[in-house]
Amino acid sequence: MQVRLLLLGIDSAAMSTDAGIDLVAYAPTTRRAITIQVKSNLKPKPGGGKGKLALDWWVPESSPAQLQAMVDLSESRVWLFATNELASIAQQTSSGRHHLYMVTDPAYVPRKAPKPARVAEFSKFALELRAPELLEA
């Protein structure tokens, strides 16, 4: 994650404590720091234990970080979300947590159509597209 940010011209530093913020990034063009929580998946797993393969992340509604980075280690992909936009993007909210998932099968047809569910539908949130928008705004 840090290397990918550096390639975009954004410096970052890892936090040494686990308080819901994993990185602090600094965009030199705006001269401001922004906090990032990083959530990762080693690889897709069956949704609900038996369903289609999916990546999924649980994020506390009260996350102190300004941004959320969702990472797929198996494909080296990163998506970046503003924490305050997760409520409208996550497919579920339960027990004070947002649940965001991405089904990896492009042929998957979700039962509920209003929110994106397939990996391809999240392309506009790719780190390379979102970092300049969110970090340098």
Residue whose C-alpha is closest to residue 102's, from 94, 67, 110: 110
Q: How many CB atoms lie within 10 A of CB 74?
A: 12
Question: How far is the C-alpha of 58 from the C-alpha of 91, rounded, in Å?
Answer: 11
**pLDDT value at position 69?**
97
pLDDT tens-place values along the chain, 137 residues long: 899 998 988 899 999 888 899 999 987 777 889 999 999 999 999 988 888 999 999 999 999 999 999 999 999 999 999 999 999 999 999 999 999 999 999 888 877 667 888 999 999 999 999 988 777 76
Q: Are strands 77-82 and 67-72 parallel, antiparallel or unpaired?
A: antiparallel
CB within 8 Å of 15: residues ≥ 6 apart = 21, 22, 23, 24
* DSSP of 23-82: EEEEETTTTEEEEEEEEEESS-EEGGGTSSEEEEEEEETT---SEEEEEETTTTEEEEEE
pTM beyond 0.85: yes
**pLDDT value at position 113?**
65
Q: What is the CATH number of domain 2-135?
A: 3.40.1350.10
**pLDDT value at position 137?**
60
Tell me the residue length of the chain. Answer: 137
